[in-house]
Amino acid sequence: MSGDERIVSGKLRRDDRDNVALRPKLLRDIVGQDRVRENLQIIVDAAKARNEPVDHLLFYGPPGLGKTSLAHVIANEMNANIRITAGPSIERAGDLAAILTHMKQNDILFIDEIHRLGRAVEEILYPAMEDFALDIVIGKGPAAKNVRLNLPRFTVVGATTQLALLAGPLRDRFGARFRLDFYDQAALEFILNRAATMMNVEARPEGIAEIARRSRGTPRIALRLLRRVRDYAQTRAGGVITGSVAGEALNLMDIDYLGLDDIDRRILKTIIEKYNGGPVGLPTIAASISEDTSTIEDVYEPYLMQLGFLKRTPRGREATTLAYDHLGIVDPRTPEQKSLL
């Protein structure tokens, strides 16, 4: 099973489509991410008061935490149009030039996976972000001429799961950067309760709490699990999501009480059983479990690190004693070996 198909993957899947209706509309609808929300509110209010577009904004963090939702929210707040695109889909400089020439004052250009923009495309983006200008070359050879077109003042909202892969000059062109964190239990419960009401599903507080606990701090996963648990409740349990119904449904999906699934456990087991707890390089782990390295880095590792099960060290990945405990394996390493972790 690839990372995208996993039920606990934060990445967008086909069955997430109906989440769109559940998307927050305004900043005050955003639950969790308090610091981000408050800072954005100030930026938006100030821009509105000056009758200017908001500064270019960059959101980074694991998939499913609300980067795209925030871009939509900002467009709503600014009463502006939003154009959605992604780094890998802008292949040539001309593709971006075409998008830019259609932007209007205050419009938002959302670029997902912005770290995957090609070099030539970035070169077009720099003057567009900095000077609202599009530099194009007309003609070929000695007769070629550089022409600078003025663009309306618009806003780029970039999103990335890998801030470190973003070129320095591009990073510097954003007026503000925000790191999105995993959501806490209370925020996830709030999001789930609101979604259950909108979906017309009867859910008890213990049922909601059980789903939230196993959602890896990620709203997209929480909403996905809610739909799966609803299906289970409908067909097997009279339609009501109680604590035990949620527990049974999630166990059936092989999602344990911390939200880990079979692949998370295989990652940890590989490090522990094949490499004595590590350190072991990411490509080796990826090859052992037939996954690609970027999926492991983007989707699996952030949550395992958040739980304190995994450490990234310059020599490779290491499993902590907590990971051994979770898998019910005794950590044979000496205290000296562990202190090196």
- Catalytic residue positions? 67-68, 112, 161, 220
Q: Using CB under 6 A as the criterion, what x/- string covers residues 33-72 for binding ligand ADP?
A: x-----------------------------xxxxxxx---
A 10 A CB-CB count for 35 gives 10
Residue number, 163 or 327, with CB nearest to ligand ADP: 163
Residue number, 161 or 270, with CB nearest to ligand ADP: 161
Q: Which of residues 106-145 bind ligand ADP (CB under 6 A)?
A: none
Residue number, 112 or 261, with CB nearest to ligand ADP: 112
Of the candidates 116, 213, 216, 220, which one interacts with ligand ADP according to CB under 6 A?
Answer: 220
A 10 A CB-CB count for 49 gives 8
Angstrom distance (rounded) from CA 76 to CA 82: 9
Shortest distance (Å) from residue 85 CB to ligand ADP: 13
Query: Which residue from 211, 218, 216, 194 is spatially nearest to 245, judged by alpha carbons?
Result: 211
Angstrom distance (rounded) from CA 27 to CA 17: 21
Alpha-helical segments (H) within 102-218:
119-131, 168-172, 185-198, 205-213
Per-residue burial over 292-313, b if 16 or more Cβ lie within 10 Å, else e, is eeebbbbbbbbbbeebebbbee
- Using CB under 6 A as the binding rule, whether residue 30 contacts ligand ADP is answered as yes
- Specify the residue for token string 């290491």: 318
Q: Looking at 101-109, 215-223, 250-258, 296-304, which segment touches ligand ADP (CB under 6 A)?
A: 215-223
Shortest distance (Å) from residue 157 CB to ligand ADP: 10
Of the candidates 31, 188, 285, 307, which one interacts with ligand ADP according to CB under 6 A?
Answer: 31
Residue number, 63 or 217, with CB nearest to ligand ADP: 63
Number of H helices, E strands in the chain: 16, 11
* Structural tokens at position 157: 């909202």
Residue number, 65 or 82, with CB nearest to ligand ADP: 65
- Using CB under 6 A as the binding rule, whether residue 32 contacts ligand ADP is answered as yes
The contact set with ligand ADP (CB under 6 A) reads 19, 22-24, 30-33, 63-69, 159, 191, 219-220, 223
